[in-house]
Amino acid sequence: MLMVYLAGPEVFLPDAIELGARKKRLCSAYGFEGLFPLDNEIVQEPSGERLDRLIYRANEAMIRRADFGICNLTPFRGISADPGTVFEVGMLAGLGKRVFAYTNVAQHYIERVKRKETLAFDSARNVWRDADDMTVEDFGNADNLMVDWAVAEHGGVPIVRHDAPLSDIQRDLCGFETCLRLAAEVFAKSA
Amino acid sequence: MLMVYLAGPEVFLPDAIELGARKKRLCSAYGFEGLFPLDNEIVQEPSGERLDRLIYRANEAMIRRADFGICNLTPFRGISADPGTVFEVGMLAGLGKRVFAYTNVAQHYIERVKRKETLAFDSARNVWRDADDMTVEDFGNADNLMVDWAVAEHGGVPIVRHDAPLSDIQRDLCGFETCLRLAAEVFAKSA
């Protein structure tokens, strides 16, 4: 049975364990074994090693053990996805594993930036600039182009973009289930 | 001569090319060849392939060509580092290449979150929570623990944290030069 690493900021929710269990049940329904980061249940070692370092090592080991990943790229604490999850997209791609991803906010990246601040159009370069004079990517992507294209190139399908109800934005699993369906199709073809 | 991939949000500056040239000159002074993403000078192909996809492919190829990376993790358009750069930290680590990194804002991650919003302390779990009830990491790191520890584990040294003058936050190269010095030391030892 293929193992899938379940990356996403839901590890920060008070009900992370329950949500992880829901994700793992859905994985089973599609014939996969889900690996949820909290499974590691890190315990402080007598060595006194820092807890955050132990968590990092356990998560990296879990990513290496996985056959592929499904990453939750819903905007987190700002305009972009959770940096921990984005790091994991990169590590999965670097390890040559397939990456599927979803976001519970369908808007283009630039639309989210525009909601936060007024942009200026630089007609000499034909780009939008923010208050720091920095280009705002306008390719119709969900996030920075490196993230969108890593998923499209290393997963074979673009980031799944679905507008979840605002009250359920960190917990909605429609996009997640779409990723499972896509992964099942991709692996059935390559089997 | 070892090649170093120069990741960072400075590619979005109007003077990105000049800044890339400064970085590359510093690399030469430390005995490295700097690879700056804009070097790719992507040209629209007659095939009509999307420009953002071509940029992605050129950058991934450049990362694969590099021997190691130095990543600028200065907060970008919010609390955390540029997601494109964070993705590249992950890809470098997944490819088994050394990762050095710096930030021009020395503050802890949680201090930056606290400046943006009022946090609530969850005494049952002994963690701080944001307005969405999500845990705010409080390990004294510069960013999400996966990013800090990827650098420490895959580069051998923690993220270099240096407070640049506010007016020069996207261009200051003190932390960058510290990374070059550390890389020169690390590679001299392993040679």
pLDDT at A189: 87
Least Cα separation, residue B185 to chain A (angstroms): 24
Asked if residue A130 lies in contact with residue A113, where contact means CB atoms within 8 angstroms, the answer is yes
Distance (Å) of CA B146 to CA A7, A64, A90, A111: 12, 14, 12, 28
Structure tokens of A107? Answer: 């808007």
pLDDT at A41: 66
- Check if B145 contacts A (Cβ < 8 Å): yes
Rounded CA separation B143/B78 (Å): 12
* Element holding B28 (H helix, E strand): helix B16-29
pLDDT at B18: 95
pLDDT at A161: 98
Count of CB contacts below 8 A, A vs B? 166
Least Cα separation, residue A96 to chain B (angstroms): 8
- Mean pLDDT for B24-35 is 98
Structure tokens of A15? Answer: 């009900």
> How much of chain B exceeds pLDDT 90, in percent?
91
For the cut 80, the answer to whether the pLDDT of residue B47 exceeds it is: no
For the cut 90, the answer to whether the pLDDT of residue B93 exceeds it is: yes
* Element holding A34 (H helix, E strand): strand A33-35
Low-confidence ranges of chain A (pLDDT < 50): none
User: What pTM does this model have?
Assistant: 0.97
Asked if residue B65 lies in contact with residue B37, where contact means CB atoms within 8 angstroms, the answer is no
pLDDT in tens, B102-132: 999 999 999 999 999 999 999 998 999 999 9
Least Cα separation, residue B98 to chain A (angstroms): 13
Q: Which residue of B has its CA nearest to A78?
A: B78
Nearest to A67 by CA among A38, A99, A36: A99
> How much of chain B exceeds pLDDT 70, in percent?
97
Strands, E, within chain B: which ranges? 3-7, 33-35, 68-72, 98-103, 120-122, 127-129, 135-136, 160-161
Which of the residues A18, A68, A91, A98 would you substitute to probe the B interface, choosing the one with the greatest number of B C-beta atoms within 10 Å? A91
Judging by beta carbons within 10 Å of its beta carbon (0-12, 13-18, 19+), is residue B187 exposed, middle or buried? Answer: middle
Which of the residues B132, B134, B135 would you substitute to probe the A interface, choosing the one with the greatest number of A C-beta atoms within 10 Å? B134
Q: Which residue of A has its CA nearest to B51?
A: A139
pLDDT at A40: 63
Q: Which residue of A has its CA nearest to B37?
A: A146
Q: B52 and A139: CB-CB below 8 Å? A: yes
More confident residue, B187 or A38: B187
Which of the residues B146, B147, B149, B157 would you substitute to probe the A interface, choosing the one with the greatest number of A C-beta atoms within 10 Å? B146
Length of chain A as a residue count? 191
